[in-house]
Amino acid sequence: MITIKEMANGFQYIEVKNDMACANIALQGAHIFHYVRQEEEPILWLSDMSDFEHDKSIRGGVPICWPWFGMNKRNSNLPQHGFARTLVWELQNSEDRDKNTTHISLKLSDSSETFSLWPYRFELIFNIIISDTLVMELITTNLDEKPFEITQALHSYFNISDITNVAVQGLDKKPYFDALTSKHLHQEGDVIFDKEVDRVYQNVSDEILLLDNFRTIRIKNEGSSSAVVWNPWIEKCARMSAMSEDAYLGMLCIESANAMENCIVIASQNSHTLRATIS
């Protein structure tokens, strides 16, 4: 069942309920902020302090970082992680394919507002399949006459039992940029957490596993060569907007991305698809 809902402040979202799962998707940012399979704990983490405010990204779920990930490399005054996560998208299609599977499709197009931040004509489609797996497909089409370059991320916040209980597999031997020290290093074994971690893994091709003591979440990425692994730990968490002091314990971001040297150049009238399947 698909219902369009509205919060008291006018913030609109799509509520999906089928026999396999439930999800909530905000029109602002095409932002999935809730996904839970029947009889399970939510897969996505959402801050209990998240303010669903206009023009402000939701803290949790899956923000879409686009057309740049992190700081804009030409102008650091531009919004971090681009503008797709704070603009209102258009609902293109919503359909219960059967009792287990719902498809949602949203679109963002260039406008005078996007042009003032990024001078290209584009179409961005976000297809979501909600079932016992969550499939997210971000299709970028260049409608301009010249090529453009993007970096991007499906910035998934996963809900975990406790950050000290989890390990991330699938990144062994991969090169990564450590955003905390600005060093280029290589991963040895699983990623485990006993301090702040903010890394961009490069040339990632394998499935990534998030091992928690009560379940394993699998992240299969296509059209993506980077994986961002982020937990703010104690001090950064205390400084961050819309996060309670101990929020870092219950969340871990593993982002399906194309970042830094894994940027994507799209020729005029061509498209690129980034797909993440969470199971």
CB atoms within 10 A of CB 202: 19
List the catalytic residue out of 54, 155, 184, 235.
155
Contact pick of 57, 72, 156, 224 for ligand BG6 (by CB under 6 A): 57
Contact pick of 48, 53, 54, 80 for ligand BG6 (by CB under 6 A): 80
Contact pick of 228, 237, 252, 254 for ligand BG6 (by CB under 6 A): 228
CA 58 to chain centre: 11
Say whether residue 174 binds ligand BG6 (CB under 6 A): no
Separation between Cα atoms, residue 244 and residue 237, nearest integer Å: 7
Q: Which is nearer to ligand BG6, 61 or 170 (CB)?
A: 61
Clarify whether 255 is annotated catalytic: yes
Q: Minimum Å distance from CB 84 to ligand BG6?
A: 13
Q: Minimum Å distance from CB 80 to ligand BG6?
A: 4
Separation between Cα atoms, residue 90 and residue 126, nearest integer Å: 10
Separation between Cα atoms, residue 104 and residue 127, nearest integer Å: 6
Say whether residue 31 binds ligand BG6 (CB under 6 A): no
Give the total of residues touching ligand BG6 (CB under 6 A): 9
Separation between Cα atoms, residue 28 and residue 90, nearest integer Å: 9
Q: Which is nearer to ligand BG6, 80 or 270 (CB)?
A: 80
Say whether residue 198 binds ligand BG6 (CB under 6 A): yes
Clarify whether 155 is annotated catalytic: yes
Separation between Cα atoms, residue 25 and residue 107, nearest integer Å: 13
Contact pick of 150, 155, 191, 254 for ligand BG6 (by CB under 6 A): 155
Separation between Cα atoms, residue 256 and residue 11, nearest integer Å: 26
Tell me the Cα Rg of the chain: 18
* Cα 27 to Cα 11, 91, 97, 150, distances in angstroms: 8, 7, 21, 22
The H or E element containing residue 278 is: strand 271-278
Contact pick of 89, 230, 233, 248 for ligand BG6 (by CB under 6 A): 230
Separation between Cα atoms, residue 274 and residue 267, nearest integer Å: 16
Say whether residue 81 binds ligand BG6 (CB under 6 A): yes
Q: Interface residues with ligand BG6 (CB under 6 A)?
A: 57, 80-81, 155, 179, 198, 228, 230, 255
Catalytically active residues are 155, 255
